[in-house]
Structure 1
Amino acid sequence: MAAGGNFIHRVISYVANELIVNGLANSPKFQRFAVRTSKKMEEISDLAAEKKKEIAEQIKDASKNFESFKKQ
């Protein structure tokens, strides 16, 4: 009997998933939200990469300054 309940659960889950996915895919508001979110995440990713480079450069400069200070 448990297998029958599992099957029904899977069918209901599949149908609900299809309805939700199709509903969101055909929603202009959701599409705008998705595009804006994607662009914002790309901007944040680019900013993070830029900051990572800046910090790496600062660490490199600090290391050089420390080495030259240590030699004195």
Structure 2
Amino acid sequence: MVKQIALSKRYDHRYLEEKWYKCWEDGGYFVARTNSNRESFSIVIPPPNITGSLHMGHALNNTLQDILTRFK
């Protein structure tokens, strides 16, 4: 039989945000490294955010990124 646990009706994001933000800071993920031996790259059009309703611009954005990455 599966054990059931009670879930809160509201998600408390503070604990996880603090945990992961500290992990990212400790890992140096917010620091640019200019002496890397890897080839540099850039993102032409950043990924869409979730602040609004989907529109034709999202389709264009995704299509352009797909074309650029497939046919570089």
TM-score above 0.5: no
- Asked which structure has the greater CA Rg, the reply is 1
Q: Name the structure with the higher helix share.
A: 1
